[in-house]
Amino acid sequence: MIPTDPADEHRVVAGTFGERVRGVTPGGWDAPTPVAEWAARDVVRHLLEWLPPFLAAGGDVALPPGPSVDDDPVAAWEQHAAAVQEVLDDPASAATTFAHPRLPAMPLPRAVSQFYTADVFMHTWDLARATGQDDRLDEDRCRELYEAMVDIEEVLRGSGQYGPAVPVPADAGWQERMVGFIGRDPGWRPPG
């Protein structure tokens, strides 16, 4: 079970993603992923590149730059995850209002949890599946995310961040439903 406290949640989710990052073989960083036109390295790149401007725009939080994903994806992820964890572990963050121009105001830890940690969780499947690692996700968390996203499907699809849903069987598990909802084929396997 994944904790609900944003700092503890990130610690667990980012830790699992970090295990998958460290599990990629040296030649595996160029492996194709379930996300069209992304290689495994691009999954890490995506998570590192969108969060800093998001935090800067809504919370005036600056994450320190780290190693290049192209040079060392493992070091890049580890530095980034530690920097995010430091923000969440800082008691002052709980009192910081995140006021992004396109979102309602909310506590900074909630914004990180709702938008970023959830993204890390979902992309764990992409990286694991692309690189032949354990791609099982917490079923309870998959259900929570799926049910929350279904309620705002039109907004999500309109954002351009999610592809068309991939149909899954009526008796599919929560992970398969979530993966299909975000536009991935749950049966996707690397070519060859």
155-174 per-position pLDDT tens digit: 777 767 788 899 999 999 99
The CATH code of the domain at 6-137 is 1.20.120
* pLDDT exceeds 80 at position 112: yes
pTM (predicted TM-score): 0.94
Residue type, 14: A
In this prediction, residue 117 carries a pLDDT of 96
Q: Please report the pLDDT score of residue 68 as a whole number.
A: 96
Q: For residues 80 and 117, what is the distance between their CA atoms, to the nearest angstrom?
A: 13
CA dist 77 and 29 (Å) reads: 13
Question: For the chain, how big is the Rg over CA atoms in Å?
Answer: 16
